Amino acid sequence: MATNEELIWQYLKAQGFSDAGAAGLMGNLYAESGLKPTNLQNTYEKKLGFTDDSYTKAVDNGSYGNFVRDSAGYGLAQWTYWSRKENLLNFAKQKKKSIGDIYLQLDFLMIELSSGYKGLLQTLKSTKSIKEASNGVLLQFERPADQSIAVQNKRAAYGQTYYDKYAGKTQTTTTPTTGGTQMKYNANNPPLVCMMKNSTCYKQTRTMTPVGVLWHSTGANNPNLKRYVQPYETDANYKEMIALLGKNTNKNDWNHISHQAGLNCWIGKLADGTVTTVQTMPWNYRPWGCGSGSKGTCNNGWIQFEICEDNLNDKAYFDKVYKEACEITAYLCKMYNLDPHGTVRMNGVNVPVILCHQDSYKLGFGSNHGDVLHWFPKYGKSMETVRNDVAALMKDIPSTPVAPTIKPDIEEEEEMTQEQFNTMMNNWIAEQAKKAPGDWSADARAWGEKNGLISGDTSGNKMYKKMLTREEFIAVLYRALHRNIIE
């Protein structure tokens, strides 16, 4: 099994953290808890009469009722203040998981960062400095009593240890494994990443707690990843990713706000013909993949990917993408402690941890699609062979079928309503309006303001990053023409 530090590194990298950002955060978490999610603050063990494990068990079963107000630090981040502990406890109850579950705490950590520490989160995703990341977490997020230079240096040194151990070991070559049961992907060798941040799904979806993996295939004769996956032109690694993927000159890839779908990763051919996986959204981002059925949707909880189809007649290609799909599924099952032969109870139905789009439709949790079962049986494969092959890759789970593991019911979430979408869009527009303009437009802005073309709102905010409507455009044009600024 992967160690806590491997799991945390994998998780943070999957959220888009830079190597330095992940290391800086992990250095702080190590200082707080030793990366142990059940850690009870040492000075409170004797005071409360608990060990780490007995405290966790008592909170979980309700026999200890003062978790929120006992002032004891707990968990990876040593949450101490009553309101944060209350939020953590409520989150655990909502997800029906132990308060000491490592993935529950990591998901909660991301919720805190993305809601109350947006600037820090952006730093952790972009910085190349361990010290900057470490001090950001120390001084803004953890805020212990001792924030001295000595403590800053010590925590940064912890972060450097994780950086030296894991950074720079992200996969850059993508030759598939051809034999044996050694897993291709792990903490030191995660899949290639090309986050499609300009897609509607990436911008507007919400986070989830992964409970399974759902397979799709594209239904189109194009095995090339570049058809669907492209970086955005402003991405720091744009040239590197284009060299790997190839350029989609038709510009009909999925990294656009106009495309109303989104998956967590894709499997297909790179520009050099190599078959590999490319992650396009964080693993805990809710995909817009399988649609809805009569009983709900597997979009709530199932990580989803597409396999790029060819003409369905090339066994060599099929064997490669099938093996690759098993590899990434095993990696995700390891990451989220999922049983390949298990099921999840949802709305009264036992839904397999691993399934395909057609399975979700037949169970009432997806739209009417045939993938992948229009293709796999041709080469002697099914979703049951998938589960067995994934289990064999994971090694510590038997490769022969075992009795299903029934997980607790998960609450069904409603699809996004038009009202919710409108609210999110209005919030996004309001956020854009508050952003400062770039230096490159300084001369043009000065000219526009001097000539009265741009007036802004009642507070004087010129809203330069806000989208321009046709109504606003014609008003600006009217001012320019009637003031003889342009002819």
pLDDT (mean) for 142-164: 93
Cα distance between residue 302 and residue 112, in whole Å: 23
Instruction: Give me the pLDDT at residue 266, please.
Output: 98
Question: Which residue, among 113, 352, 263, 321, has the nearest Cα to 255 in the 3D structure?
Answer: 263
Cα distance between residue 483 and residue 43, in whole Å: 73
At 430-451, the pLDDT tens digits run 878 888 888 888 888 888 888 8
Question: Which residue, among 382, 329, 397, 388, has the nearest Cα to 184 in the 3D structure?
Answer: 329
* Residue 293, both tokens: 């059925």
Cα distance between residue 458 and residue 299, in whole Å: 43
Q: Between 451 and 133, whose confidence is greater?
A: 133
At 357-384, the pLDDT tens digits run 999 999 999 999 999 999 999 999 999 9
In sequence order, which ranges of 127-269 are alpha helices (DSSP H)?
A: 130-136, 149-166, 200-204, 238-245
Task: Quote the longest CA-to-CA distance of the chain.
Answer: 83
Angle subtended by helix axes 102-116 and 82-95, to nearest 10: 120
* Residue 477, both tokens: 């044009």
Other beta carbons less than 10 A from residue 329's beta carbon:
28
Cα distance between residue 318 and residue 312, in whole Å: 8
Q: Is the pLDDT of residue 251 over 70?
A: yes
Q: What are phi and psi of 218, to 5 degrees?
A: -75, -25
User: pLDDT tier at 388 (50, 70, 90 boundaries)?
Assistant: very high
Where do the structural domains in the chain lie, given as residue ranges? 4-166, 192-407, 435-482
User: pLDDT tier at 43 (50, 70, 90 boundaries)?
Assistant: very high
Cα distance between residue 13 and residue 383, in whole Å: 29
Location of structure tokens 């979980």 = 60
What is 4-166's CATH number?
1.10.530.10
Cβ–Cβ < 8 Å for 19, 114:
no
User: pLDDT tier at 399 (50, 70, 90 boundaries)?
Assistant: very low
At 316-340, the pLDDT tens digits run 999 999 999 999 999 999 999 899 9
Q: Output the pTM of the full model.
A: 0.56
At 80-114, the pLDDT tens digits run 999 999 999 999 998 888 999 998 999 899 999 98
Cα distance between residue 225 and residue 277, in whole Å: 9
Fold topology of 192-407? Lysozyme-like (3.40.80)
